[in-house]
């Protein structure tokens, strides 16, 4: 029950007694007017100041979709042609006006005819960036050779419809802690007019794809509803992790850039993923809009650059706490996959993880930060997964 007798009550109570009713009604209106005026004078500037001091709150959660490793080999469900058709249809159905596809021209040839699929993405309104010619990790080669690999990719890509001068490092490895090497590469990118196509959200979607392929090849039953839910949940959680880390690190919320790959799981569940992101408060923006934000134009040095942008920024600023989303630890991710999608415990340890070019262990910053995963549910018999990366 409201407490009577307070200032508010006394200002607003309406007297109705006897001959003073008309006068009281006038006084009542005056009091209400004074009260509203006071609220406006006090509350509005306060709200404006609060909004200014927390400007990032007004920016909301925005995210762009990007797909790496174009062209990837076949997945568990579709031919590459079917996959591309489904991806385009899914993006259209979900109302995604523009996603970015990062290509490895060294994997495009007359046999796989992947250039036609790349062209179909562009025809649907999407854009194409550079993911290097041969998808080699910077840790595996000198800076000059790495830049030469980029030049080969640019020779193929530049001038094609939908081209954007964006370079995404294979495996997200910009040299790790080797800042001299990174500097040489980044200066080379600047000289070539290329922008670093940072990823800001990573949920290791490629690993979910790899686990699915391995399960299919091993003849294991796949709970497809659970696969969809795991994929969608993991990507949304990784987006929220990066959102919180970015706000904590730079005090605002630039558009995020979600790393996905040209996978069958993306082709199968993209509309579900976009719906879940929107339900979680995310607005889907174009890759053009995301990469226009100044945070993606920072070419200065970092302490370490081998992962997402919020992680690199947080390392540089000395932000505490966990700096990467937990399901990027493959043993955890694979356990969840086995339990939820296959309804069984993870199987034997194999060398399956060696098939991935996305391992970051060669330049791992801290032993506890990333585990070099060797856990998979496949048996040695099926350890040669042939996963295209």
Which stretches of the chain bind Zn ion, using CB under 5 A? 68-69, 170
Q: Which is nearer to Zn ion, 69 or 178 (by Cβ)?
A: 69
Minimum CB separation from Zn ion for residue 229, in Å?
Answer: 25
Assign 129 to helix, strand or coil.
strand
Angle between helices 179-191 and 143-157 (to 10 degrees): 30
Angstrom distance (rounded) from CA 386 to CA 367: 28
CB of 120 to Zn ion, least distance (A): 20
Which residue's CB is nearer to Zn ion, number 205 or number 243?
A: 205
**Helix, strand, or coil (residue 30):** helix
Nearest CB to Zn ion, comparing residues 68 and 311: 68
Judged by beta carbon, residue 75 or residue 346, the one nearer Zn ion is 75
Please state, in angstroms and rounded to a whole number, the distance separating the CA atoms of residues 292 and 277.
Answer: 21
Q: How far apart are CA 318 and CA 49, in angstroms?
A: 29
Q: What's the min distance (Å) between Cβ of 298 and Zn ion?
A: 22
- 318: exposed, middle or buried (Cβ count in 10 Å: 0-12, 13-18, 19+): exposed
b/e 152-175 (16+ beta carbons within 10 angstroms → b)? ebbebbeeeebbbebbbbbbbbbb
Q: Which two tokens stand for residue 68?
A: 């790496």
Least CB distance from residue 358 to Zn ion, whole Å?
6
- Please spell the DSSP secondary structure of 236-290, one letter per residue: HHHHHHHHHHHHHHHSS-PPEEEEEES-HHHHHHHHHHHHHHHHTTEEE--HHHH
Q: How far is the CB of 154 from Zn ion (least distance, A)?
A: 17
Output the CA torsion sign for 148, 153, 156, 162: negative
Cβ distance to Zn ion smaller for residue 68 or 243 = 68
* Smallest gap from residue 68 Cβ to Zn ion (A): 4
Least gap, CB of 251 to Zn ion (angstroms): 31
- Judged by beta carbon, residue 62 or residue 72, the one nearer Zn ion is 72
Cβ closer to Zn ion: 77 or 206?
206
């Amino acid at each position: 029950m409201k407490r009577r007798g307070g200032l508010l009550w006394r200002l607003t109570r309406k007297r109705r007694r006897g001959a003073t009713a008309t006068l009281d009604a006038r006084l009542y209106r005056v009091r209400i007017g004074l009260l509203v005026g006071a609220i406006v004078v006090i509350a509005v500037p306060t709200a404006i100041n609060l909004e200014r001091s927390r400007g990032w709150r007004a920016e909301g959660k925005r995210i762009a979709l990007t797909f790496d490793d174009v062209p990837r080999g076949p997945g568990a469900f579709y031919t590459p042609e079917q996959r591309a058709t489904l991806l385009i249809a899914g993006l259209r159905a979900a109302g995604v006006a523009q996603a970015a596809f990062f290509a490895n021209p060294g994997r495009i040839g007359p046999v796989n005819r992947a250039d036609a699929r790349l062209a179909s993405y562009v025809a649907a309104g999407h854009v194409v960036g550079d993911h290097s010619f041969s998808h080699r990790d910077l840790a595996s080669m000198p800076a000059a050779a790495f830049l030469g690999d980029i030049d080969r990719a640019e020779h193929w890509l530049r001038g094609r419809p939908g081209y954007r001068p964006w370079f995404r490092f294979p495996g997200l490895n910009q040299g790790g802690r080797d800042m001299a090497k990174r500097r040489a590469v980044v200066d080379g990118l600047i000289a070539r007019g290329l922008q670093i196509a940072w990823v800001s959200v990573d949920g290791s979607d490629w690993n979910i794809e790899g686990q699915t392929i391995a399960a299919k090849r091993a003849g294991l039953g796949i709970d497809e509803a659970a696969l969809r839910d795991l994929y969608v949940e993991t990507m949304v959680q990784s987006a929220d992790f990066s959102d919180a880390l970015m706000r904590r690190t730079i005090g605002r919320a630039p558009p995020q850039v979600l790393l996905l790959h040209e996978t069958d799981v993306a082709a199968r569940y993209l509309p579900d993923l976009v719906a879940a992101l929107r339900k979680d408060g995310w607005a889907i923006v174009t890759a053009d809009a995301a990469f226009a934000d100044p945070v993606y134009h920072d070419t200065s040095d970092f302490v370490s650059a081998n992962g997402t942008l919020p992680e690199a920024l947080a390392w540089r600023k000395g932000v505490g706490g966990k700096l990467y989303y937990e399901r990027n630890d493959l043993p955890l991710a694979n356990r969840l996959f086995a339990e939820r999608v296959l309804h069984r415990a993870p199987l034997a340890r194999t060398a399956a993880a060696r098939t991935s070019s996305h391992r970051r262990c060669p330049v791992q910053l801290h032993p506890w930060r990333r585990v070099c995963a060797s856990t998979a549910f496949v048996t040695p018999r099926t350890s040669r997964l042939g996963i295209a990366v």
